[in-house]
Structure 1
Amino acid sequence: MNKAALSEFWYKKHNKVFAVGFSSIALVLFFAYYLTVEILFKWTFFQSDISQLWNFFVYLVVYLIILIGNIRNDSIAYQGILMFVCYKAFDSATTIVRSGRSVIETFQGEWTPLYLLYGISWLAVAGVVFLGIFLYVRSYQYLKGSFNHFIEIRILAILFAVCLFLSISFTLFLVIAGGYSNSIMLFFLLDFADIAIGIATIFTMERLRRN
């Protein structure tokens, strides 16, 4: 393949390459996380918390839909994106409801610089909820042809992915700054998988615009 042909291929297919690439990375991280916790729990992790089994299958289906849809150039990938955005928004809303009181109580204590990062991480969790709702609605409208301002969808998708990363920034900072064992990072694999899918969302939606 000559340089001109390669440039043409990259121009037309780079969104697909990134979408498939990040979707694949997400799936690898996803399986790595659950394999790790199963080994640590001596193969009783799902037995000890049946809700985790539900989460496993729900997100596995979503990840596979996005990956396979992108590989096959199938519009089902966009349905997978809508499902992922919806589930993450719901999970984040649940987290806020469960932990909101303790977060407020934390800020009532003596101020430290760490509160800034802590606050940003929780604002990001809230951002996943609200941006997720708007991204879901606008993407659905775009698919139905009742909304045609793609730039808004692009911005929402980028901000959504950024919030997914920032939502774990505080805990990640504590682990890195505290000099904990690298094995602790294994417990972030699922979060990293969500971030990878969030990035894949951006490129999948770009493919929607070009299609």
Structure 2
Amino acid sequence: MSTLDLCEKYFQTRDIYKLLDLQKDAQMNEIKKSYHKMSLLVHPDRVHESQKAEATTKFQVLSRIYQVLTDDTKRALYDKKGIIDREGDDDSDKDATFKGKVVKLDAFLDEWRKTFHPFLYHKSKYVGSVAERDAIKKAYLDGRGSIKYIIKNTPFLDANDGPRVHKVVCKMIQEKLIPPPSHFTGEPPQMRAKPNNAGEERNENPKAQ
């Protein structure tokens, strides 16, 4: 199955720009940032053992797309003809590309962790760190105050982290590092989103616990 077929199967699009939420004139720093975000969401280290096979395939697909968009020749070919070079390579399921070099998947994952998110090696050091707080802050702003969005887009978080994330968010609001949810929604206090113990959102005024 070709890379674009896999894009359609797993990401419901054959448009690699749309997949990474990019414009066609996206610059290298934008491509890297978007790739980092997307690959983090499907990284095999972040899913249950039963989901690792699919996550690994998705991760490989994103790697190939990143290779295309960061190579002027491959990108020009895709932009002009809508195809990706070297489709059907027999080793494509075993290899990935990192910094312009084809490497075995295990080695690629190792390099990815070191380059994009070294904290993936040390969850215990990441949780509660300044890096996690910064990631929560960014996700809060990107997600317009949504706790669900924060949990989905921050490393290591799941539904059980809802109450802890809520406390972190409320503290940042008190410190005026981020605006309250009403800044995004325009809703009155009694309608603002607050997570319950399952990490879901309900309509209450958020207060620091």
- Which structure would you say has the larger RCO, counting Cα contacts within 8 Å and 6 or more residues apart? 1
Looking at secondary structure, tell me which structure has more helix per residue: 1
TM-score for both structures, normalised by structure 1: 0.21
Please identify which structure carries the higher strand content: 2
TM-score for both structures, normalised by structure 2? 0.21
